[in-house]
Amino acid sequence: MHSSHRIVATYRLAPLPHLEGERGEPEPRALAIARESTLETPEGVAPPSIEAALLGRVETLAPEEPTGGWEGSGIHESHETPYRAVISHAPEILDGGLPQLLNVIYGNISLLPGVRLVDLHLPDRVLDQYPGPGLGIRGLRDLVQGHGRPLVAAALKPVGLAPEPLAELASAFARAGMDVIKDDHSLVDQGFAPFRERVRAVVDAVRRVNEGRSDGQTAYFANVTGPAEELLQKAEFAARTGAHGILISPGLVGLDAMAMLARRGPGLPIMSHPSGADVGPDRTTGVAPHIHFGLLHRLAGADTVVYVNAGGRFAWSLETCQEVNRRLRATLGSLRPSLPCPAGGVNRTDAPMWFETYGADTLLLIGGSLLKEADVEGAARVLVEQARVSSPGTGTG
Amino acid sequence: MHSSHRIVATYRLAPLPHLEGERGEPEPRALAIARESTLETPEGVAPPSIEAALLGRVETLAPEEPTGGWEGSGIHESHETPYRAVISHAPEILDGGLPQLLNVIYGNISLLPGVRLVDLHLPDRVLDQYPGPGLGIRGLRDLVQGHGRPLVAAALKPVGLAPEPLAELASAFARAGMDVIKDDHSLVDQGFAPFRERVRAVVDAVRRVNEGRSDGQTAYFANVTGPAEELLQKAEFAARTGAHGILISPGLVGLDAMAMLARRGPGLPIMSHPSGADVGPDRTTGVAPHIHFGLLHRLAGADTVVYVNAGGRFAWSLETCQEVNRRLRATLGSLRPSLPCPAGGVNRTDAPMWFETYGADTLLLIGGSLLKEADVEGAARVLVEQARVSSPGTGTG
């Protein structure tokens, strides 16, 4: 169908019955996408050699199969059939940077109606330009000394708490044996818990507990999301102070800002948070979640990728979540796999079911469901125990 | 209705007839948005003082008026009535950074189905935290010595051209008297036209023409979009070399990366490009274009904001474009106004109509429609003359 040394993007074209003339027709739309993503000039303007070398190619265009898989049926269409357009690009259109890759796969066309990026193949020579996870699943397991079982995480929140109560909470989670503790993504650098004070306090609390343990250690991921010129400093401060990892929301700071930390940062593992990602499984535009979280976050260096779990507050389907998981763990050039981190309203009592459903290579993040218990530490201890006795599927560690 | 010293975000809630139970009901959805955007913990978890101080407040919730304005009727709903939820936030939830503002107004809730940010009020004390345009409309007019009339811009493209032909094109546009020349947003740092070589060549070409003119000068905006750690260097190189402004695509690098250049960069005026913005007037989720381009780009320091014009390749409505224009020019605390820059398939022969429709405070960007002419310079000269004889509305200069 296409040469595997090209970038191959698959778009779902939702029916546009309200558009007049050929603008709503699949073939002109596919050709327009291929041109818009590359030369962005009318036919005949670019020299023939450039048209031949750099214009995107429509490899295939076909109506979507009625049973065409889990990304098949949106909720908005009824009148007509959606199409799938497979468009390939020469790697020479890139410049080695992530922004230009985003530009080619979903740049100007992100402003078009009814165009959704649903699949993406990147050849090895393109994959090699991006950092990927520094530790990956195996490295994260080594960090917390948790092998052959699902890992569990808890969140420090709510925003508004001072460093001391946040540190006390961290201490309780660490005593319970949680594998990972993360700052709430809304804990940034507000006056009630300034970044440096918060990180120092939580690191101290977690270190004291870890020193007394022989069965693993709790890793603390400090949220460094903030102004662009402070990201590197914040990551370096976190590393210097003794945090085990950093949390960042690429939807708020830009995907390449996270990749910059992977390229130039102090080498702490990265947890990506979905805030501001502006994607969802029910949409007819945007980047499909399994590409956004399952591929782009991994490409940009996330060792573990937080996404919104099925059955939680966000109404995402199990199929979407499973596909995110599959992508994060699958072979992808020489990039390390990322650890899927389902979150967002996961009920602590459902944890064993999720371990079974998602398998061992999962970091299950339980937030509010632990915090609303009178005995937070006791509830966390139960969760940790459930993860330790669980042995679903086969892990990589 | 609400205190003007709070952040006030208005969301459009699309009907969700496929969701069971109260999850699809307007009131639980509005309350969930207010909580998700702030404390993100179940009721009762946060101390009462924090709930009182930081939980978002649902100010009003009402069905959308059937004739409720130009952002009123999406194309996807038919079964039920959309609602408008007005939710306010305490400024203390911010930390002075743009990422946290984005997190509060459209962070986690960007992952929900059918929630669209359609209006945003920011109090002066919040506006004062962000750079806004360094030059604004008046400063851009002074730069090109073009007052009391619409300004015109052309693009250097396609990607694939070497620095020399790009410089020749720039020379032709400058001889024609174009106010602004910009790199195509896809010209980044590829091998066929590396950033520094391209900027040097174009700057030299434009300077030579400008030196011989007495009727104004052509300003060249160099595209600095690229890896995060190179943005500042690229902007500084552009300034040192003699470019008049920089072009950046915040949808590809992050909105705060642009704001960082406004805060810390060399002081060149900024043109923002919409690639990767992932917004459109026909959607039921995301940030409405008049907020994304009309407010957030201005807040983040864009002196002129490229957006996709009605009647072009992108099927946006005239009402959307007029509302983007209105927001960019309107009073906004002490921030300077930004110059609207409609683009994306504008036909050069329609220019006089657009001048009349949009008024003098407009930078009309004509790309392919000029480039496909046999006599590009002659066609550009006609456009420049049309802008000079035009005197629609009243300008700020």
Chain A hits for B279, CB-CB cut-off 8 Å, are: 110-111
The whole-number pLDDT of residue B24 equals 86
pTM of the model: 0.96
Average pLDDT over residues B212-228: 96
Mapped onto helix, strand or coil, the DSSP state of residue A301 is coil
Chain B hits for A315, CB-CB cut-off 8 Å, are: 19, 23, 112-113
B243, B203 Cβ separation under 8 angstroms = yes
Interface contact flag, A45 B158, Cβ < 8 Å: yes
Q: Does A25 reach chain B within 8 Å, measured CB to CB?
A: no
The whole-number pLDDT of residue A395 equals 44
**Which positions 78-97 of B are in contact with A (Cβ < 8 Å)?**
92-97
Query: Is it the case that residue A391 has pLDDT exceeding 90?
Result: no
Report the 10 Å Cβ neighbour count for A267.
Answer: 12
What average pLDDT does the structure give for chain B?
A: 94
Query: Is it the case that residue B75 has pLDDT exceeding 50?
Result: no
Burial A18-57 (b: 16+ CB within 10 A, else e): eeeeeebebeebbbbbbbbbbbbbeeebbeeebbeebbbe
Say which range, A61-75, B4-18, B148-162, B339-353, has the weakest mean pLDDT: A61-75
B61, B81 Cβ separation under 8 angstroms = no
Measure in Å the smallest separation between the Cα of B253 and chain A Cα atoms.
5
Digit-coded pLDDT (tens) for A295-330 = 999 999 999 999 999 988 887 999 999 999 999 999
Digit-coded pLDDT (tens) for A123-162 = 999 999 999 999 999 999 999 999 999 999 999 999 999 9
Nearest CA in chain A to B193: A95
The whole-number pLDDT of residue A2 equals 46
β-pairing verdict for A363-366 and A151-156: parallel
Give the count of alpha carbons within 13 A of B9, CB side only.
30
Average pLDDT over residues A163-174: 98
Amino acid at B148: G
The whole-number pLDDT of residue A69 equals 52
A338, A304 Cβ separation under 8 angstroms = yes
pLDDT tier, A121 (very low <50, low <70, confident <90, very high otherwise): very high
The whole-number pLDDT of residue B357 equals 96
Query: Any idea how long chain B is?
Result: 397
Question: Using CB atoms, which residue from A18, A160, A260 is nearest to B46?
Answer: A160
Percentages helix, strand, coil for chain A, rounded to the nearest 5?
40, 20, 40
β-pairing verdict for A180-183 and A151-156: parallel
The whole-number pLDDT of residue B391 equals 77
**Which positions 151-180 of B are in contact with A (Cβ < 8 Å)?**
157-161
ipTM greater than 0.90, yes or no? yes
Query: Is it the case that residue B15 has pLDDT exceeding 70?
Result: yes
Q: Which of B80, B252, B287, B320 to probe by mutation at the A interface, max A CB count within 10 Å?
A: B252
Chain A hits for B95, CB-CB cut-off 8 Å, are: 188-191, 226
Query: Is it the case that residue B74 has pLDDT exceeding 80?
Result: no
Digit-coded pLDDT (tens) for A338-365 = 999 999 988 999 999 999 999 999 999 9
A41, A125 Cβ separation under 8 angstroms = no
Nearest CA in chain B to A161: B50
B384, B178 Cβ separation under 8 angstroms = yes
CA-to-CA separations, A50 to A71, B190, B306, in angstroms, rounded: 35, 13, 26
Q: List the one residue out of A135, A140, A175, A184 whose CA is nearest residue A343.
A: A184
Query: Is it the case that residue B9 has pLDDT exceeding 70?
Result: yes
Q: Which of B78, B186, B230, B263 to probe by mutation at the A interface, max A CB count within 10 Å?
A: B186
**Which positions 254-273 of B are in contact with A (Cβ < 8 Å)?**
254-257, 259-260, 263-264
Burial of A380 (0-12, 13-18, 19+ CB in 10 A): buried
Report the 10 Å Cβ neighbour count for A7.
Answer: 22
Mapped onto helix, strand or coil, the DSSP state of residue A74 is coil
Average pLDDT over residues A214-223: 96
Query: Is it the case that residue B69 has pLDDT exceeding 90?
Result: no
The whole-number pLDDT of residue B1 equals 42
Residue B259: phi and psi, rounded to 5, are -60, -35
A262, A270 Cβ separation under 8 angstroms = yes
Strands (E) across chain B are located at 7-13, 57-63, 83-89, 115-121, 151-156, 180-183, 219-223, 245-248, 270-272, 286-287, 304-308, 339-343, 363-366
Average pLDDT over residues B229-241: 98
Instruction: Please give the helix or strand (H or E) that residue A304 lies within, else none.
Output: strand A304-308
- Better pLDDT: B269 or A24: B269
What average pLDDT does the structure give for chain A?
A: 94
Interface contact flag, B190 A94, Cβ < 8 Å: yes
Give percent above pLDDT 70 in chain B: 94
pLDDT tier, B3 (very low <50, low <70, confident <90, very high otherwise): low
Contacts of A162 (CB under 8 A, 6+ apart): A192, A193
